[in-house]
Each structure stands twice: as structure tokens, then as C-alpha cells.
Amino acid sequence: MKKNTAVVYAILAALLFGINAPFSKLLLDQIDPLFLAALLYLGAGMGMTVLTILSKKHRKDVKEARLTKKEMPYVVLMILLDIAAPIFLLMGISLTNSSTAALLGNFEIAATSVIAMIFFKEAIGKRMWIAIGFISLASILLTISDTLTINLSIGAVFVMSSCVCWGFENNCTQNLSIKDPVQVVILKGFGSGLGALLIAFIWGDLSGSLLYIILAMTLGFVAYGLSIFFYVKAQRGLGAARTSAYYAAAPFMGVLISWLVLQEPITFSFLIALVIMILGTWLALSENHEHAHIHDEETHEHSHNHDDAHHLHEDHPSVKGEHCHEHTHKNTAHSHCHLPDVHHRHMH
């Protein structure tokens, strides 16, 4: 049940972010890419702040762990990477069509998975490696603008650079996923938004009509704010690599909107890349992981309930439903199907 809920959160995050590329393409005709990057994240921060104030009464009943000094290095890295990633993405969208940019977003799966394995000890099975191979191959096809002369599309390179930045950022966010997701999104929105705004002030153009500025911030609230909120919630149960795999629905939604709204042409190489990308995404989503593993003793604080095998601690009175308190996991060895969530980042 917990996994199914996390999957729903991941798909919601993907669907909301899927509208980003095609509608950003429209806004780029009126707003400088650097300024738009700032507006998107500021819209996320402001929108989530207003939503928090409006739901203050409900929030009192929701028990979430607050960020501490221990998580600050990850917060700083998250903000810096979130300044760079949308700037690369919007520069890429301005130089290529939005359907290609949207589909290239799936390269984020490969980047997130490899980074998760190398730096954060997430396990990647054979099926996931094959999926990464297919996704990377499709990304390469989309990056080549002329198959006869093998010319690289600069726009596609910018989009792939944004995927690498978000790959690192996803893993930073995974280390914050047990904390209050609203607090994470607000910090991300204002921190990254103000940083991008400073860059836009120095190197970009801050001009734009009030209507388009409001539209950009609204897009940011939906495609970044709400999407990131559900993404962080999903990472609790799925881990960074698997959440990014479910997030693969976002590029396909972006492609669909690009075809319907922007009426962008469909090339043969794009269709080949689309088929390969769908196959890679299916392989990533269908991976099953089970083995005997050891949980070292650990003390931490996060929202949880007592109906799973990892929160049977006897040092706290029995509580029904979601609640939050500092608790200790004793050293345990067992075997079950699991994902690299916060309790299952271990060596293999």
C-alpha cells in the first residue's frame, strides 16, 4: 500500500512537470530564458507559501520532521543545482523544439540512477542497467541533429546538461525526503528563484509584461512547486532512481502537448527515439529487487506509521496513522522485496 501511494505521488509529479517544456516554449517568446528560470522557481516558492497559509489548520494535524543543520549541505547543493538546471533547460528549449526537449528529459533517469549508485550506494540491477542503456541511446539519437554528418544539436546538449544537474539534485533531495516536503519546496523555490534572478539581473533581461510574468509564476507553482512536493513525497518510498523512472511520464506528456498545442513536426528519428525511450522506461519501472540485507542501528526523525516491518520500535507508545518523533531502528537482518528508500540505501 505504501509503495502504491508513493507511485501515485511520482506519477502526479510527472504529469504536473510534463506541461513545463511546451508552455515554457510559448513563454520564451516573451521572456528572457534566465528571467523565466527565476520566475518559475519564485512561483513555486510563493505558491507553496500561500497554499501553506491557506491550509494552516490542516497542517497542524500533519506531523512532519523539520530540517536541521545536519541537512544544510544538501539544501545548499539542491539550491545551486536548481539554479543551473532550469537555465540549461530553458536555453535548450529556446534552441530546439519543445517535443525533443521534453523527451530528452528522460535522460534524467539515467543520470539520477548512475549518480545514485556511485555517490549514494543505491543498487541498480541488470534490468535497470538495460533501461539506462536504452534511455541513453534514445537521448543520443535526439541529440544528433543531422544523422548524415553527425552534427550535435546545441539545444539538445543544453537539455542533457540540465538532466545531469537534476540528476545530482534528485539525489540531494532524496537525503531530504524524510523531512517536511513543503519546507523543502519553499526553500528550493525561493533559494533557486532568487539565485536565478540575480543571474538574470547580471546577464539577462528582466523585462516582460505583467501578464506573462504572472503566467510564468503560475506555471512555476504547478510544474515546479506542486510537482516537487509530490516528487519529494514519492522519494520517501521509492528512492531517487526509481522515482525518476516513474517521473519518465513527464516527457511523454510534454511531447503530446507539443504536438497538439504547438503543432511541431514529427521526424522519423524522433519516432525511433520515442519507441526506444518507451522501452527503456518500461524496463526501469518493471525492475524487482529482493535479497537478504542488514539494517545497521540508526536514529532519525521523520513522518511514519507503525504498520510496516521497519517501525516496530517498542520505545514509543502505540500510535495509529502518520506521526512524527525521533526513533531508533535496531540492527536487523531480513529479506523482502524493497526499493532504495531512506531505510534501504545499503551496499550489495
Considering only 165-169, 282-286, 297-301, which range has the smallest mean pLDDT? Answer: 297-301
Task: Look at residue 110 in the predicted model and tell me its pLDDT.
Answer: 81
pTM above 0.85, yes or no: no
In sequence order, the 6+-apart residues with CB closer than 8 A to the CB of 161 are 88, 92
More confident residue, 129 or 292: 129
pLDDT at 321 over 80: no
In sequence order, the 6+-apart residues with CB closer than 8 A to the CB of 79 are 187, 188, 191, 192, 195
In sequence order, the 6+-apart residues with CB closer than 8 A to the CB of 136 are 107, 110
More confident residue, 312 or 52: 52
pLDDT at 220 over 80: yes
In sequence order, the 6+-apart residues with CB closer than 8 A to the CB of 305 are 311, 319, 320, 321, 322, 323
**pLDDT tens digits for 192-216?**
999 999 999 998 899 889 999 999 9
Give the count of beta carbons closer than 10 Å to the beta carbon of residue 301: 15
- Do residues 251 and 274 make contact, with C-beta atoms less than 8 angstroms apart? no
In sequence order, the 6+-apart residues with CB closer than 8 A to the CB of 50 are none
pLDDT at 257 over 90: no
SS3 assignment for 177-219 = CCECHHHHHHHHHHHHHHHHHHHHHHHCCCCCCHHHHHHHHHH
More confident residue, 102 or 198: 198
- Alpha-carbon distance of 23 to 262, in angstroms, equals 9
**pLDDT tens digits for 57-70?**
555 555 677 788 88
**pLDDT tens digits for 174-196?**
888 778 888 888 998 999 999 99
Distances, alpha carbon 348 to alpha carbons 92, 125, 305, 327, 328, in Å: 38, 10, 27, 26, 23
Give the count of beta carbons closer than 10 Å to the beta carbon of residue 180: 22
In sequence order, the 6+-apart residues with CB closer than 8 A to the CB of 331 are 294, 295, 296, 297
Which three cell numbers mark 109?
Answer: 533517469
- Alpha-carbon distance of 3 to 194, in angstroms, equals 35
- Do residues 143 and 70 make contact, with C-beta atoms less than 8 angstroms apart? no
H or E stretch covering 295: strand 290-295
DSSP state of 334: E
Quote the mean pLDDT of the chain: 78
Task: Look at residue 327 in the predicted model and tell me its pLDDT.
Answer: 54
- Do residues 274 and 105 make contact, with C-beta atoms less than 8 angstroms apart? no
Task: Look at residue 1 in the predicted model and tell me its pLDDT.
Answer: 47
Please, what's the largest Cα pairwise distance for the chain?
69
pLDDT at 338 over 80: no
Residue (of 338, 169, 100, 139) closest to 242 by Cα position: 338
In sequence order, the 6+-apart residues with CB closer than 8 A to the CB of 146 are none
- Name the residue ranges covered by the structural domains of the chain: 2-291, 295-337
